[in-house]
Amino acid sequence: MSKNAAGARTGSEQALALYQELRSAPGESFDDVAHRLDLTQAERGRCHAELVALGLLEPAAAAPAVPTVVAPDIALLRLLQHERERLESRLAETSRAHTTLETLAGPFLRAGTEPGSEVEVEIVEDPARIRRELADLTNTVRTSVHSMLTGSVRREEMPLELARDRDRVTRGVRVQAMYSHRVGQVPEMVQHLAERTALGVEVRLSAVVPMNMVLADENFALLPTDPHDPESAAILARGPGLVRSYRALYDYCWLAATPYGHEEPAEPGGDGLSEQQRAALRMLASGIKDEQVARNLGVSLRTVSRLISEVMQELDAASRFEAGVKAARLGLLDGEPYEHTTA
């Protein structure tokens, strides 16, 4: 390849070409492969950093003479595991915050009754009291209301919610509402969300809604004592010192959510896969070679190739790597991973 041809490529194209050369020439040094592609020192550094960031090269303090190349399916599996661990860590932090807040609720409540106190927290078990607090909020809120809901709105409560929306938006209050993606598939909720949006409410759908929550004016928060039980007693907090932390969590979830009416279309495929095809897909995503897949399934290599071709067609994927990405998004890789064997 000429230097001009190499230079005409974008950074990502150079990284892909370098990765393909490294895979096709195991044992060859990084610099030798980069030299063959006519990459400059700056381009080599950028390509190395990009491949490490994608998990396609093992990280090292410095670029080793012979880098450890990682197969795309293994890199994908590691990336998915990292994202799962990050999400689990975030949810664990939220759970710990709830536990701490519940423990401190009594002392904060007593502090809230003292002159000059800026924080009030109490545990509210009466559902009627909770409804009254939400009704009063319509009259007292000045600038913003932010809510997230894990489930659907009850049918009898929909007209009341629309009336509150109309009043708040008319007074210039910013109203944001976040729901789970699955709520957007309920026919009654589809109409309700469309009506809220038409009134000027900002509505978003998210894959993960950690709990029910209502925030207002950076000074009011209403949320359950147990995030996993929406019917549990509620925490009623007033004061920016506490509400600010919940607003940070809300903003994090809001940025990751999708505006209602702009949802990405569901990826095709997955429903028509046989158990044998699913098994082959999961084994390949676990880094198992075609030969071992054939032995595990008790079929020939030719049959494995046919199975993978059928999987790619079902998922509308142009490569095995793309099939792995789509399979992960569709939840087809869930379950116990297949172990590598030496048989």
Instruction: Looking at mean pLDDT, say which of 88-92, 186-190, 322-326, 339-343 comes out highest.
Output: 186-190
Task: Rounding to the nearest 10 degrees, give the CA dihedral for residues 244, 258, 76, 283.
Answer: 120
pLDDT number for residue 196:
94
Instruction: Looking at mean pLDDT, say which of 58-67, 170-179, 267-276 comes out highest.
Output: 170-179
Give yes or no for a contact between 323 and 315, defined as CB atoms under 8 angstroms apart: yes
pLDDT number for residue 2:
41
Residue-wise pLDDT tens digits, 27-67: 888 888 888 888 998 888 888 888 888 888 887 655 557 88
Residue-wise pLDDT tens digits, 90-105: 777 776 666 655 555 4
The secondary element (H helix, E strand) that includes residue 214 is: strand 213-216
Determine the Cα–Cα distance for residues 256 and 180; give it in Å rounded to an integer.
12
Residue-wise pLDDT tens digits, 111-121: 444 444 466 88
Determine the Cα–Cα distance for residues 65 and 69; give it in Å rounded to an integer.
12
Whether residue 7 is predicted with pLDDT greater than 50 in this model: the reply is no
Tokens 């423990």 belong to residue: 103
State the chain's mean pLDDT as an integer.
Answer: 78
Neighbours of 302 (CB within 10 A): 9
pLDDT number for residue 333:
66
Using DSSP, how many helices (H) and how many strands (E) does the chain show? 13, 8
